[in-house]
Structure 1
Amino acid sequence: MVQAAVLTLGNAIERAEANQAIVQQAKHIVSERIDLHRATHADLMPSLSLIAGSIWSQTRNGQPLFVAANAPREIIGQVQLNIPLYSPQVNALQALAHHQMDVARYQEHESRLLVAAQVTAAYYRLALWDNERAVWNSALGAAQSLFKATQQGYQIGSRSRLDLIQTQLMLTHIRGGLRQAMVEAATARRVLALQTDYPLDELPKLATITLPKAALPEEKVLDRQATHAQPLLQAAGAEVQAARSLLQYHQAARLPVVGAVGAYGMDTGMLPQSHDLGWQAGLTLHMPIFGFGRNRDRIAAAQEHLTAIEAGKQALLLHIQNRIATDYGATQAALNALHNNQVVEQQAHVVYQMTRKEYLAGALSALALQQAEKDWVQARLKLAGAAIGVRLAKAQLTLDTGVLPQPSEGQS
């Protein structure tokens, strides 16, 4: 297998869906429901069977003690064809199996969304710690250069021992931040490797994360999209249809069942002879009359079940709309935080550059430089987090509507 040069979010989701057991389980459930649907469809088709038997009757003094045949010994051997002509319960079962198949398909899509949400969180967590590690690496290079300059100044007497200690403390602080970022990045890398079924040493580096250029759509547009694409709602709709089919099944128990029977063979009270073979044909009618309220209670229970499923669908719709509203606000807040952190980072960078120049010129102490450097590093870390936060918030908002990220998601 050729290893990808970089790993995009879309590629990571595709690989996770192909390997995670929760998706495979959902696929097998879909196959199970398809087989059951085919089986219920076959119940509406004619069936062919073989009937064979030998029945004895016992008599005493010419009086029957037990009569089970048309003669002392009855021989039966037939090939029988049964044709359902009118079977409303079987029709209702076929509709129920069809809707249960739809439920399974939507639940499979739901499992894909669940996997996508987990991979998205793991992907952006790794991207965040990679960015923070890069910030600490950059700060470490600048701090090492500054510490060397301070050492040289201390040796010739232009810098005080306090300056030397302050720059060394700055260097120690940055090294500590880098080590922590490396530990967090390694943990996030292991999690993403597990999610995508990559060996840890073969996990490609992440694609460059850029800010989404598309404007945030209106909230009502997302609500409409969720109504049509969210598999949770689609599964709930299919469950409503399944509950209606179940109600029809119990209602159909009050209706007659009509079938046709055709048979070829023998049914004789004598020893079978070749001329005993013949055709038989007939119609059967089964009409329920009284069942002590059994059907009435089952119909009432099915109606209550249908009402509960319909109410559950409405509650689910409200939950999804609330989730979209919450994540929509979180996305707007993330965009605002990104803008604010961009301004703060630019200003902190300017202050750091000016303070560094003044320090190297001997006009400022290392304490002032340490504070400026600390402010700039924190501003860069917040900016890195804000940039990833926007991507994560928008991805979560997309997942809320039931849409999977595209394969190019996350690429520069």
Structure 2
Amino acid sequence: MSAPTTPKIVVAEEGDVVLRRRTHTALQQLHADGAWRADEVAAHLPEAADLYGAGLLDRASTVIGTLTLLTPRGQRLIGSTARQAGSVSRQLDRAYTRLALKELGWSVTPDVQYLRQYDRTGRMTAVMTPFAGEGDSGAALVIGKMPGGFSNTGIRHLITRLRSNALRRGFWVILLSPSARRGQQLAATHPAWLKVIHVVPRLPQASSQDDLTVPIFAFKGPGDDPVIVPETEQLTLERLAARGHYYGPLWVSVLSRPRAARVAAFRQALAVDRVISGHQLFRLYGLEPSDVHDVHHVDTQLKPVHSDAAQVVHARFYVSDRRLIQRDVTFLSHAAGVAEMRVLLNVPPDPSRWLTGVALGRREFCKPDAVLVTEFGRTAVEYDTGSYTRSVIADKLGAFRDQSYEDVIWGVPGEARRERLAQEWDLRVLLTRWF
């Protein structure tokens, strides 16, 4: 009789996970690398399926393919402190920088590590590049950012922070970007020390966006018939209200239609809202991902409530324009929150009544996320994940007042913040959960 094999991981009754030393070491390396490609996971974590099941690993779909990263639980298990723990975007940026450097063939050599003293963030990588020339050796501080590279504001912060040292010490500052154009014009004004380089690392075929085998959320297909009928309408409304989704007649009318009509309603809404989450696809339209397989989307995980760092949700965001995939996930989740507010307000996806502020460019601070047009005038609509400070709220309300909006409607994902803002600012505040 063969000896029993040692389990790859052990999950105790209390939910604690015990790992082999080799697995623990591999997860620490994954944390340092940010995220891994499918071939890297296969090479270093043969027990990956068990780690996904234990909630230690997750997948995120990015502009360069699907990557595997540690969940907050996985980060805590390997001993990462709150300060060391990285957000999803930070982990993916580290992975992108690492893979882009590999694609470019640039080396992280010991003789250039002295440059790290000039990086106060600790997020840049010191490498040797082929850009050696008169007055410099080719040494560089490099950082990459997904999904669309650095904004001009971010580049200006880097210029302020690093320009004098880069010129005095003779090293390059190089920004890596999946976008071919973003930031190039601004970088061209500092040709002596700053470069923005477009690079898209080539990932193995198995790491394509369609290889996301972990479900986005628990799903039960509703079939071709209407999702709700008059006999179940009230009960369904009560159940959703208990979960914080206070829907009305518009929602009922959509889910009372056959599947083909619901697909058409989804597409009409997406043309107006610009971004709709996978959770909303199911909850608002009773549809499965296969019903809208031709719609551009991105899969990721994020923290939807600013004050609740422990809550991480898996999300799919459907977008009306492929270029929106390049936007940061916080932008997409914000847009999905605005879309949820439209449904909560019982407003049909009519561009003459609902003017969304979601665009391909940057959101403007002084403009609301959407404008509701009624016979009584224009109402400013604003979604807030909980990150707005009192001064930001005051500035926004002042700006909306100066633009002669008749009213303001605020949306937040947390009940406590909803009650607090309603009392402190005398606002109509909606509990708004796109997830």
* TM tier relative to shorter chain: under 0.3
TM-score normalized by structure 1? 0.19
Structure with the higher fraction of residues in strand conformation: 2
Q: Which has the higher contact order (CA 8 A, sep 6+)?
A: 1
Relative to its length, the structure with more helix (as a share) is 1
Normalising by structure 2, report the TM-score: 0.18
Q: Decide which structure has the larger Cα Rg and report it.
A: 1
